[in-house]
Amino acid sequence: LLETSESFYYSFDYGPVHVAVVDQYTADYSVGSAQYNWLADDLSKTKKKWKVVMFHAPAWSAGHHENDVTAQESLGPLMETNGVSAVLQGHNHYYARNEVNGIHYLTLGGGGAPLYTPDLEYPNLADADPAYHFARFDMTQNTFNVSVIDEAGTEIDSFALENKTPTPRAGFIATTPYSAGGPQVTVNKYDGLKLASFMAYDSNLRGEFQVQTGDIDGDTYDEIITAPGNGNKAPVKIFEMDGRLKKEFYPYGENFSGGVEILAADLNADGKQEIITAPETGGGANVRVHTYENDSVSLLAWTMAFEASYHGGAKLGAGNTDSSSAASELLVASKEGRSAEVKAFSLNDGVLSDKGSFKPYGDAFMNGVNLIGADLNGNSQDEVIVAPLSGGGPNVRVYNYTNSNFALLDWEMVYDKNFKGGLELAAGDFDANGSQELVVAPVVSGGPNVRVYNFQNSKLELLDWFMAFDPGFHAGINIAADDVDNDSKAELVVTPKHGGPNVRTYDLNGSDFALKSWYWAFAPSFVGGVNVAVGSR
């Protein structure tokens, strides 16, 4: 029992069940509070087969006393992540059962006080009855059956709970300001339901804040990684999805203010992703690989990807380019100020070994390239896709690694040849056919013209295109892809680099992309643009 002079929250075990009781009236239970952190720790550590949470004011119910939105937004995702099967609630004097993301929310308020009438139009309502009642729970190691019985002895509801062994069963979208904003991180479901919102740094900081996701501790749930943009002397930080700070570190010392590129990828096939960093600008091409273990971050390997005199920064990517093991190779591309070059490195015994390089646009092109690794043809080997970062035409090129060299497979002018605004790249398996599709969008200038390509018979073929925002919008867009709704297919998430913080999610239906949902990441009046990353929870 945890008891203080101001709050009461505790947990206990009963047979195969672990029960946690939340204090809603004398202690804060929002994300990051002491009680929230206690509950997260308590639920994650229990070894009991079944998990039940109890609190008084209902998160989901059938009206009269309204639903507790803080319980929905703060406790709901936490309970889902930790495998809670049922929530026992009161406050409303009737019986109701709501089902939300696999959790049964039971309002058991028929103990003797005057009854209320449940509103059968309330969301996620599975059953309701304005009756005096009690609930009986029959539990074994493998079964958990619930019966609700009224004062006449009649069973008014019965059901079996499912064991909610924690698994990454849905996705989340993490967003930060692209420019001119504070260090706010918002975490939402694709439909806009807020899962968390927190300040990654001092609230007075302004600028760009990078965001990435990755499973850096091997627990099958993605963490959120943030880094400062150019001009801020702030650390790289690692957060749990709900905003709890896990660790922070300075990859280039506390005085470096050139901004930090970040990427998460499993470079050594140990079942967790490493955090890779590179200077965004102003530093040398000092690429560093960090690992999280035993609640600390340590440097695993580093290399100067290009000559020491080059201070233009680097772009990062990863892909399993040779399929010789489960490990990905690290891909590094130069930015402005030297001949655009892509290098691949493998991590072996704490050393980054050079696996090869290529200059996709020749020695004369010096405007830098974007790059990703993706399996475009479903052969379990990732191709390397590159595009100009700025300047140059919209020339997308696809390479594969064979016989210790990178060979050009195909190239495509994805927009008018006169377009020189640079290209963003992403990839996802939108049709669940085992191969990923390539997505391109303008970095700057150009309309919000998103184009999606298949890679058939070693050739890029246009699958679909659409205007993600108003055709007159020319400020550039960010793109990310992953399965955000647990349907075994990737969705495409699009955000603007300027204008209102409108996050849009698209689904592939047949051969056409259609808007699935949208929401505001920040206040609608914020016009600094949105960085975006997608993760699993």
Whether residue 183 sits in one domain with residue 302: yes
Q: How confident is the model over 459-516, as pLDDT tens digits?
A: 999 999 999 999 999 999 999 999 999 899 999 999 999 999 999 999 999 999 999 9
Report yes or no on 165 lying in a domain: no
pLDDT at 292 over 60: yes
Give pLDDT, residue 165: 58
Give pLDDT, residue 439: 99
Give pLDDT, residue 282: 82
Expressed as residue numbers, the domain containing 120 is 2-160
Give pLDDT, residue 4: 46
Is the overall model pTM greater than 0.85, yes or no?
Answer: no
For 164, phi and psi rounded to 5 degrees? -100, 65
Whether residue 326 sits in one domain with residue 223: yes
Whether residue 156 sits in one domain with residue 178: no
Whether residue 184 sits in one domain with residue 115: no
Give pLDDT, residue 392: 87
Give pLDDT, residue 110: 95
CATH of the domain at 62: 3.60.21.10
Whether residue 396 sits in one domain with residue 253: yes
Q: How confident is the model over 359-402, as pLDDT tens digits?
A: 999 999 999 999 999 999 999 999 999 999 998 899 999 999 99
CATH of the domain at 433: 2.130.10.10
Whether residue 368 sits in one domain with residue 254: yes
Mean pLDDT for 314-326 is 91
Mean pLDDT for 43-66 is 94
Report yes or no on 166 lying in a domain: no
Report yes or no on 90 lying in a domain: yes
Whether residue 470 sits in one domain with residue 420: yes
3-class DSSP state for residue 288?
strand
Report yes or no on 368 lying in a domain: yes
Mean pLDDT for 137-158 is 95
Give start and end residues of each alpha helix (H) in 13-124.
34-45, 69-70, 76-81
Distances (CA, A) of 285 to 170, 229, 333, 380: 36, 16, 10, 30
Give pLDDT, residue 498: 94
Outline where DSSP puts E strands in 323-368.
Answer: 329-334, 342-348, 351-358
Mark which of 99, 127, 160 sits at the end of a domain. 160
Quick one: pLDDT band at residue 3, thresholds 50, 70, 90?
Answer: very low
Give pLDDT, residue 167: 47
Mean pLDDT for 86-102 is 96
Dig out the tokens for 69 from the structure. Answer: 């939105």
Mark which of 132, 160, 188 sits at the end of a domain. 160
pLDDT at 323 over 90: no
Q: How confident is the model over 437-472, as pLDDT tens digits?
A: 999 999 998 899 999 999 988 899 999 999 999 999
Mean pLDDT for 313-341 is 93
Mark which of 160, 180, 208 sits at the end of a domain. 160
Quick one: pLDDT band at residue 6, thresholds 50, 70, 90?
Answer: low
Residues 6+ apart with CB under 8 A from 384: 317, 319, 321, 331, 342, 344, 371, 372, 373, 398, 399, 400, 401, 406
% of residues, the chain, pLDDT over 70: 98
Residue-wise over 403-430: b if at least 16 C-beta within 10 A, else e? eeebeebbbbebbeeebbbbbbbbbbbb
Query: How many domains does the chain fold into?
Result: 2
Whether residue 412 sits in one domain with residue 369: yes
Give pLDDT, residue 204: 93
510: left (phi over 0), alpha (psi -120 to 50) or beta: left
pLDDT at 169 over 70: no
